[in-house]
Structure 1
Amino acid sequence: MASSSYVLLFALLALASWQAIASDPSPLQDFCVADNSSHVPVLVNGFACKDPKDVKAEDFFLAAKLDMPRDTKANKVGSNVTLINVMRIPGLNTLGISLARIDYAPLGENPPHTHPRATEILTVLEGTLYVGFVTSNPDNKFLSKVLNKGDVFVFPEGLVHFQFNPNPYKPAVAIAALSSQNPGAITIANAVFGSKPAISDDVLAKAFQVEKKTVDWLQAQFWADNQN
């Protein structure tokens, strides 16, 4: 019985430790402004901290003008993602949060993608969006919803999701908060068919159960990046 208790205790401690490293690190001080001028290589998550006596209000500020429309004509998918992360606001370092404005042209789409390090909560500011995500294997359950102005939807961390503007005449705008200072984005089509170097067409033909010439055609396309 005692040995079973020790095994259970060990398992709980291991789980707690895993959960502690499965998300952005919690700050142990008021802030740790990223020191972009540091020449010391950083080999762990996050960035070197600026000396607190050198920290200024500008380290927590960005004149992003998020109230201004973005260009949605620069790529084929008809959307523009303006991400505000630690690379743009050094004061976000260790705080575990970032923000994005997403503009959608009429019939524009933020194509299927994942954020490997963040849950996303999205609010529609203007227009209508058809959104959804797919759960992990083996169920691959598809959950979707049509959102109108003021509606909110959550995309769980790491799951494939998308947003599509179904209106052929009016644009749409959304704002998203993400639970990481650097959430990352993996656009599925770009990663699979636009990788450099290309994934073998034998591999992709087998995976998608299509002919290699179909894979070759897809790999020859220009896969637009809508991340700014």
Structure 2
Amino acid sequence: MTNHFLLTIVLVALASSFAYASDPSPLQDFCVAIDEPKDAVFVNGKFCKNPKLAKADDFFFPGPKMLGLNIPRSTSNRVGSNVTPVNVEQIPGLNTLGISLARIDFGPNGLNPPHTHPRATEILVVLEGTLHVGFVTSNLNPGNRLFTKVLRKGDVFVFPVGLIHFQFNVGKTNAVAIAALSSQNPGVITIADSVFGSTPPISVDVLTKAFQVDGKVIELLQKQF
């Protein structure tokens, strides 16, 4: 009987942990994020404005101005892509609502490098161009499976929460995509930047062992980041 009771407790605990694996459901209509804590309530990493003081602009991100998602971004960088996020930092009214958005611009051969969003599933729609996209499963058996697809204008693809994924422009023209994410602040971990560009650097001995390459290769990679 005791074993059955313990098993029940464990199962309930696991079920609870899975149930809260994404942003929690709000318990009010909205919770507009503010930086000033005076007379405010702290909810899910942000202070909440008095709802009586909320206004339409708290739920708005301008389109026709220079920051709007209709404006192409420069892709003149080492990877040839540019991500424009629209999360709780840009729209305070997104706080506690569990959703955000991003525009991704790609130059020819532009890459959104392998990365993860630790707090969000991503769904991507291609507006212009041709993208080769993919994600890799976790280490569980059968582990590290690669799922890839070539997307064209109007195509949609999903990247499960927390898994490493990428997008690469395989067309000869610029490409544009819009991504929706299931978190107000999904976070992003770019694999190469994190591994080879950390501060302070990860020990060369550690990375040499992990990647099974010569230490000079690791030092060269660290210099790139």
TM-score (norm 1): 0.91
Shift of 1:11: 2.9
Could you say which residue in structure 2 is the equivalent of 1:48?
Answer: 47
Is the counterpart of residue 203 in structure 1 residue 206 in structure 2? yes
Contact 2:40-2:48 within 8 A present in 1 as well: no
- Counterparts of 1:40 and 1:86 in 2: how far apart (Å)? 20
Shift of 1:43: 8.1
- Counterparts of 2:54 and 2:208 in 1: how far apart (Å)? 53
Determine helix, strand or coil for the equivalent of 1:195. Answer: coil
Is the counterpart of residue 124 in structure 1 residue 129 in structure 2? no
Shift of 1:12: 3.3
* AA partner of residue 149 (structure 1): K
Shift of 1:46: 2.7
Which among 153, 159, 162 is matched to residue 158 of structure 1?
162
- Counterparts of 2:43 and 2:32 in 1: how far apart (Å)? 16
> Which stretches in structure 2 are left out of the alignment for 5+ residues?
none
Contact 2:128-2:177 within 8 A present in 1 as well: yes
- Counterparts of 1:145 and 1:41 in 2: how far apart (Å)? 46
Q: CA RMSD in A?
A: 1.8
Shift of 1:35: 1.7
Alignment of 1:10-21 (within 5 A): 10-21=9-20
What whole-Å deviation, never above 9, does each CA across 1:147-187 have from its counterpart, x for those lacking one? 010000000000000000012x3010000000000000000
Contact 2:106-2:169 within 8 A present in 1 as well: yes
* AA partner of residue 164 (structure 1): F
Could you say which residue in structure 2 is the equivalent of 1:24?
Answer: 23
- Counterparts of 2:146 and 2:206 in 1: how far apart (Å)? 26
Is the counterpart of residue 148 in structure 1 residue 152 in structure 2? yes
Is the counterpart of residue 68 in structure 1 residue 71 in structure 2? yes
What whole-Å deviation, never above 9, does each CA across 1:186-212 have from its counterpart, x for those lacking one? 000000001111001111011000111
* AA partner of residue 69 (structure 2): L
| Worse overlay, 110-119 or 61-70 | 61-70
Is the counterpart of residue 175 in structure 1 residue 174 in structure 2? no
What whole-Å deviation, never above 9, does each CA across 1:21-55 have from its counterpart, x for those lacking one? 32111100100111222269998733121101111
**Alignment size in residue pairs:** 219
Query: Residue 33 and residue 79 in structure 1: after superposition, are their counterparts in 2 closer, same or farther (change >3 A)?
Result: same
- Counterparts of 1:57 and 1:33 in 2: how far apart (Å)? 11
Is the counterpart of residue 189 in structure 1 residue 188 in structure 2? no
Could you say which residue in structure 1 is the equivalent of 2:102?
Answer: 100
Q: Percent identity?
A: 66
Contact 1:46-1:94 within 8 A present in 2 as well: no
Shift of 1:4: 5.3
Runs of 4+ more than 6 Å apart? 40-44
Contact 2:36-2:47 within 8 A present in 1 as well: no
- Counterparts of 1:184 and 1:148 in 2: how far apart (Å)? 26
- Counterparts of 1:15 and 1:41 in 2: how far apart (Å)? 33
- Counterparts of 1:192 and 1:129 in 2: how far apart (Å)? 25
Contact 2:41-2:48 within 8 A present in 1 as well: no
